[in-house]
Structure 1
Amino acid sequence: MTDDSEDYVYDEVSGEWLPASALKPIEAAADAPFEVRDSVGNLLADGDQVTLTKDLDVKGAGQTLRRGTLIKSIRLTGDPQEIDCRYDGIKGLVLRAEFVRKR
């Protein structure tokens, strides 16, 4: 008699029970480093300076950031499309990478 039983693990992302052997490649892909690129394809890193490529209305601040505004010392978030930054008078500013260009 052969033992064909395999451990199953619940995958919260897909909402399905998957064999443990099938879950390993999914976890490895999730742990892989990601790249954040600006509007022209330059690779961004923590501490970079960026400029805005278009006018942006800031929700909750009642302010508009103009094209060409310099943002100093960005921080990367866990999302490859978003960067966290500081600007005078605006706390917790998160910008989309598609609207900035590395300086």
Structure 2
Amino acid sequence: MSAPETGSDEDYVYDGESGEWMPASELAAKQAEQNAVEVRDAVGNILSDGDQVTLIKDLTVKGAGKTLKQGTLIKSIRLTGDDQEIDCKHPGIKGLVLRAEFVRKR
């Protein structure tokens, strides 16, 4: 069986899951959507890159000797690819990674 002939220059690839030939870009988008990690905060809101979150309890930061208090606002989070961890910045603490269960979307 050969790939369908079309007027475009785009490569077609065989998708074993659906049993159809499709454009490579379409298959890549489909696979990326399936592999996307959904990160939820403590109350079930979906988090995304750039969101602001608030801490729901006091957290002692290991290695920094500081405690982040309940209600502390964390701006511009980044998702790490793990469904429970978010990467964020806070003054005086480099490389801060928080668990999603301790934050609430603002």
TM-score normalized with structure 2 length? 0.68
**Which among 58, 63, 77 is matched to residue 60 of structure 1?**
63
1:32 Cα deviation from its structure 2 partner: 1.5
**Which among 88, 92, 97 is matched to residue 95 of structure 2?**
92
Asked whether 1:77 is paired with 2:80, we answer yes
Alignment of 1:2-17 (within 5 A): none
Partners of 1:46 and 1:88 in 2: CA distance: 19
Partners of 2:49 and 2:100 in 1: CA distance: 13
Aligned partner letter, 1:73: S
**Which among 46, 49, 52 is matched to residue 43 of structure 1?**
46
Q: Which runs of no fewer than 5 residues in structure 2 stay unpaired? A: 1-15, 17-30
TM-score normalized with structure 1 length? 0.70
Quick one: percent identity of the two aligned structures?
76
Q: Which runs of no fewer than 5 residues in structure 1 stay unpaired? A: 1-20, 22-27
Instruction: Give the number of aligned pairs.
Output: 76
SS at match of 1:64: strand
1:78 Cα deviation from its structure 2 partner: 1.4
Which portions of structure 1, spanning 4 or more consecutive aligned residues, are displaced by more than 3 angstroms? none
1:34 Cα deviation from its structure 2 partner: 1.2
The CA RMSD measured in Å over matched residues stands at 1.6
SS at match of 2:101: helix
